[in-house]
Amino acid sequence: MESIAVWQGAVLGGIVSWIVLASHLNLTQKLRSLLQPWVAHHVVTGTPTILQIQSFQHGFLDALFSGFSCVVSVPFYTAFLPLLFWSGHSKLARQMTLLIAFCDYTGNCVKDVVSAPRPTSPPVRRITATKDEEENAMEYGLPSSHTLNTVCLSGYLLHYVLTCTQYEDAYVKFVGISLACLFVALIGLGRIYLGMHSLVDVLGGLIIGLVILVFWLSVDECVDSFVVSGQNVTSFWAALSFLLLFAYPTPELPTPSFEYHTAFNGVALGIVSGIQQTYYQFHHDAVPHLFTPELTIPVLVGRMLVGIPTIVLVKFCSKGLSKWTLPVVSNTLGIPIKSTSYIPMLNGSVNGKNSDKLTHGGYLRKLFSQLDAFDVDTGIRFLQYAGLAWSVVDLVPSIFSHLSL
């Protein structure tokens, strides 16, 4: 028990030390001054390559690559991950959820540190077929998050399938790896064709994704063992999630990247806390899987019809409760707050240049400065997604149990 407390304290202490050191040494600005000119130069010089690829413009290709982009988008994760949990593949689902959160944090940190532009449009033709894509276009370019996430998720999914099925056939492995590589290539090519990224962005996403995938494959079993049977799991992960809201670089200009990180950070906490509480009831290895007599297609459809509205309702209630409680708690503790969107009456409490910086969490000054206000939207967003994720693995399976689904 003592050794567990020591390593958990060491991890949290290391993050706090990093926050202090990064803020004191102004590491973000120094790294940006080194990396941004190089990346921006390659974005500009890569424009002819983008235009050459876009010269094959066709309505079919527009629809194809827009569709591929949706496959690795936030709405897709929202539907796909609960489906994995409710179809009996809890281990795969929780590993992919944590991997997505890790990819999102790493990729968005790099984006906002470098703060490199996307390809200039025009002359590049940019296609944003969905609202999600329009928001993605507001982020910085390097790395391509779609490429990074595709490398990690397709690679891990392939590893999981081959491990569980214990295929030893070299031909099967070759086909699986080939399909994964083809999918990654199509996603990367699609990001360039749609005008969302330059070649350097896609290559950056590919390299960072491969590094993350190799790292995750070496620690996934340890992480999973800790989540399902470790000690102080919920309290440790809550502290970790809180610190990660501050261990995030301030971008050159405000973008939605920090909002995405906050959401996935909350999702990870909700999944971990829920799994920790209900693993032996709903998520152990012996639970029924899809296509078994205990879990047929009609049962899964029933689960989706009950589960999806429930998690949406929980998200709505979590957001409403957070909008009411966080301002009260902040005022009680004397913490100055503002809101950029969720609470209109708090809009504009901080003006000018400081307001832009505060939107993204910043560093240690947000914890201690009496002159700056904390954007309460960060806490609201974090809690609503934590509540949604918790309901996926705790509340909804409990409802399934009562309904014999």
Tens-level pLDDT at each residue, the chain (405 residues): 567 678 888 989 999 999 999 888 889 999 999 999 999 999 999 999 999 999 888 889 888 888 888 877 777 777 788 888 998 888 899 999 999 999 999 999 999 999 999 998 889 888 887 777 788 888 898 899 999 999 999 999 998 888 877 777 778 888 888 999 999 999 999 999 999 999 999 999 999 999 999 999 999 899 999 998 888 899 999 999 999 999 999 888 888 889 889 999 999 999 999 998 898 888 888 888 887 888 889 988 999 999 999 999 998 999 889 888 888 888 887 778 777 777 777 665 543 344 444 444 444 444 444 446 678 888 889 999 999 999 999 999 999 989 888
d(CA 138, CA 269): 27
Written in H, E and C, the secondary structure of 50-81 is HHHHHCCCCHHHHHHHHHHHHHCCHHHHHHHH
Of the candidates 89, 146, 261, 360, the residue annotated as catalytic is 146
Note the pLDDT of residue 231: 86
For residue 159, which of 68, 89, 92 has the smallest C-alpha distance?
A: 92
Of the candidates 197, 261, 283, 360, the residue annotated as catalytic is 197
For residue 336, with 0-12 CB atoms within 10 Å meaning exposed, 13-18 middle and 19 or more buried, which class applies?
middle
For residue 113, which of 238, 196, 29, 215 has the smallest C-alpha distance?
A: 29
Note the pLDDT of residue 324: 87
Cα angle 254, 255, 260 (rounded to 5 degrees) comes to 130
The answer to whether 276 and 395 have CB atoms below 8 angstroms apart is: no
Note the pLDDT of residue 127: 86
Rg of the Cα atoms in the chain:
22
- 45 Rama sector, left if φ>0, alpha if ψ -120 to 50, beta otherwise: alpha
295 DSSP β-pair partners? 292
d(CA 76, CA 13): 35
d(CA 73, CA 133): 9
Note the pLDDT of residue 24: 87
d(CA 386, CA 380): 10
For residue 348, with 0-12 CB atoms within 10 Å meaning exposed, 13-18 middle and 19 or more buried, which class applies?
exposed
d(CA 31, CA 249): 11
177 contacts: CB under 8 Å, gap ≥ 6: 158
Note the pLDDT of residue 309: 92
For residue 250, which of 70, 108, 371, 132 has the smallest C-alpha distance?
A: 108
Q: How far is CA 43 from the centre of its chain?
A: 25
The answer to whether 139 and 111 have CB atoms below 8 angstroms apart is: yes
404 contacts: CB under 8 Å, gap ≥ 6: none
Is 42 annotated as catalytic? Answer: no
Is 197 annotated as catalytic? Answer: yes
